[in-house]
Amino acid sequence: MREASRELIIRGAHVLDPLSGLDEVTDVRLAAGRVAEVGAGLRGARRLDADGLHLFPGFVDVHAHWRTPGREDEETIETGSAAAAAGGFTSVVMMPNTDPIVDKPVIVSGLVRRIENESRVRAHVSVALHEGLRGERLTEMRLLKEAGAFCVSDDGLGTQSAGVLRNGMLYAKTAGLPVILHCEDHTLATGAVHDGVPAALAGIPGSPASAEDAATATALVLATETGAKVHITHVSTALSAGLVGYFKDRADVTADTTPHHLTLTDELVGTLDGMYRVNPPLRPEKHRRDVGEALRGGILDFVATDHAPHSLSEKDLPLEEAAPGFLGHETAFAAIHTELVLKDKLSLSRLIEAMASAPGRWIGGAGTLGVGAPADLALVDLSEEWTVRPEEMVSRSRNSPYLGQKLRGRLVGTVVGGELVYDRIGERVGERV
Ligand SMILES: [Zn+2]
Ligand SMILES: [Zn+2]
């Protein structure tokens, strides 16, 4: 990833940046990889006419599986970061459940070097909380941090025991690393889908919402007691969202939910299609509505995609046998915009806060277009309608739950450090004054 030294003026876009209070048609000057000036009538040699487009701070995704090292047949740093850029994401946190698992300093430093050379967007490395993700021995978090680790997570696995998790939080706190938690209690989460009417009709074993709620409650109680910085990822139930709300002022805690939990329900279980398997599972409409409401009200701080590429052979199976997970980067904005913003369930400004400002604050120094901020931004045509087609996905995998769906709102360009890293309007950059 290179930072652009050349200046660029983006002219005439509707600039929306909740953090700096911008919500108007104006111009933005980028120079030396940063936002240099915002205001009407800016002039310069290199400009991009963005009439009719919206300009947002680049989106931030704290939950992505780029499958490197080990499963480069599904995704690589190159294809994962290209997919992120195609979805307007300019910063991403990579999850550690790779092969080998990211639990040793040498793996972290290797990844950091590869990101430098191969990633189109900014990427941070999260490392395992426990060696081998086995939930037993804690990793050497101090050394991992020195090697470049950004945070710790045993994502994909729930926690084996509260005692083990408590020790992990205490150690992470002394190492100065935030903890991202996937909350599912595996003594309860024994099914492949949500334990509801569609599961019963399909004859597929389900997991109850309590599998998530019990684990979320445990995590929040321990976060309160230990004072660790804890982020609960992919909240999918009404009660878990409520619990986060209760603990918000009592612990150093934040939470996200995903585009799929905001827009899809367990009705899809009726298709019996392995495509729709995901952890935590898609929930009934009431949960979807309440989780959306919690995002709207700020109880859930932001959106993260849990971008989880899988090969066709792992997804083209009955639900019980398929690998859990969806692609997320390329459709996140459009899916939420179509399903929530255009149906008046969420304001556009709150969506940008949830995709840029709030996760940008969480990773630090991202998610705003204020003067002096990194020139990371997303240019979007809110009126463009498009169909999600497998042959057009940028990811190396094809497991999007939105395939065939018509969405409204599409990325036109993504800029990282002043450089266009995703470009559907390259031809509009002219040497004009
Ligand atoms: Zn997870
Ligand atoms: Zn995940």
The secondary structure of 208-227 as a DSSP string is -THHHHHHHHHHHHHHHHH-
To the question of domain 58-363 being in CATH 3.40.640.10, the answer is no
Question: What number of other Cβ atoms are within 10 A of residue 245's Cβ?
Answer: 15
**Residue from 266, 290, 306, 423 carrying the catalytic annotation:** 306
Interatomic CA distance for residues 251 and 363, integer angstroms: 18
CA of 308 relative to ligand 2 center, distance in Å: 6
Q: Angle at the Cα of 383 (from 378 to 389), degrees rounded to 5?
A: 80
pLDDT of residue 158 exceeding 90: no
Q: Given a cut of 70, is residue 428 above it in pLDDT?
A: no
Ligand (nearest to CA of 158)? 1
Mean pLDDT of the region 24-45: 96
* pLDDT of 282: 98
Residue 144 Cα, ligand 1 centroid: separation in angstroms? 21
Parts of the chain belonging to CATH 3.20.20.140:
58-363
Q: Mean pLDDT, to the nearest integer, of 373-396? A: 97
- Residues 73 and 386: their CA atoms lie apart, in Å, by 27
pLDDT at 161: 85
Quick one: average pLDDT of 248-260?
A: 98
User: Of 398, 407, 236, which Cα lies nearest the Cα of 331?
Assistant: 407
User: Of how many residues is the chain composed?
Assistant: 433
Over residues 148-162, the mean pLDDT reads: 87
63 CA → ligand 2 middle, Å: 6
Q: Which of left, alpha, beta for 364 (phi over 0: left; psi -120 to 50: alpha)? A: left
Query: What is the C-alpha separation between 37 and 27, in angstroms, rounded?
Result: 8
At residue 4, the pLDDT reads 59
Question: Nearest bound ligand to CA 181?
Answer: 1
Inform me whether the pLDDT recorded for 160 exceeds 80: no
Q: What is the pLDDT of residue 425?
A: 81
Cis peptide before 280 (omega within 30 of 0): yes
CA–centroid distance, 155 to ligand 1, in Å, is 5
Q: Is the pLDDT of residue 366 over 70?
A: yes
* pLDDT at residue 31 in the model: 96
| 395-419 average pLDDT score | 97
Q: What is the pLDDT of residue 125?
A: 98
pLDDT recorded at residue 245 = 98
Q: Quick one: pLDDT at residue 238?
A: 98
pLDDT attached to residue 41: 94
- 407: amino acid identity, one letter: L
Beta bridge partners of 17: 22
261-308 pLDDT, tens per residue? 999 999 999 999 999 999 999 999 999 999 999 999 999 999 999 999
pLDDT computed for residue 156 by the predictor: 76
Cα 158 from Cα 301, distance rounded (Å): 21
Q: Place 432 in a pLDDT band, splitting at 50, 70 and 90.
A: very low
| Mean pLDDT of the region 90-99 | 97
Would you place residue 3 in the very low, low, confident or very high pLDDT band (cuts 50, 70, 90)?
A: low
Query: What is the location of CATH 2.30.40.10 in the chain?
Result: 8-55+375-430
Q: What is the pLDDT of residues 185-225, one digit of tens each?
A: 999 999 999 999 999 999 999 999 999 999 999 999 999 99
Which value, to the nearest 10 degrees, does the dihedral of the CA atoms of residues 380, 386, 387, 389 take?
A: -60
Euclidean distance between the first and the last CA atom of the chain, given in angstroms as a whole number: 28
Main-chain phi, psi angles of 244, to 5 degrees:
-60, -40
Centroid of ligand 2 to alpha carbon of 197 (angstroms): 26
Rounded distance between C-alpha atoms, residue 132 and residue 181, angstroms: 16
**Average confidence (pLDDT) over 240-265:** 98
Calculate how far, in angstroms, residue 156's C-alpha sits from the geometric centre of ligand 1.
Answer: 4
As a whole number, mean pLDDT of residues 168-186 equals 97
| Token pair of 147 as six digits | 């090697």
The H or E element spanning position 114 is: helix 105-118
Using the predicted structure, report yes or no on whether residue 426 has a pLDDT greater than 70: no
pLDDT at 226 over 80: yes
Mean pLDDT of 112-136: 95
Which of the pair, 159 or 249, is modelled with greater confidence? 249
What percentage of residues in the chain have a pLDDT greater than 90?
Answer: 93
pLDDT tens digits, 298-341: 999 999 999 999 999 999 999 999 999 999 999 999 999 999 99
**Ligand 1 centroid to residue 39 C-alpha, Å:** 42
Residues 336-344: contacts with CB under 8 Å, at least 24 apart:
336/259, 336/262, 336/263, 336/303, 337/382, 337/407, 337/408, 337/409, 338/263, 338/407, 338/408, 338/409, 339/262, 339/263, 340/262, 340/263, 340/292, 341/409, 342/408
6 — pLDDT class (breaks 50, 70, 90): confident
Would you call 266 a catalytic residue per the annotation?
no
The CATH code of the domain at 8-55+375-430 is 2.30.40.10
Q: How far is CA 19 from CA 23, 163, 330, 350, 367, in A?
A: 10, 39, 24, 11, 8
- For residue 122, the CA-to-ligand 2 centroid distance in Å is 18
CA 182 to centroid of ligand 1, rounded, Å: 5
Residue 76 has pLDDT above 70, yes or no: yes
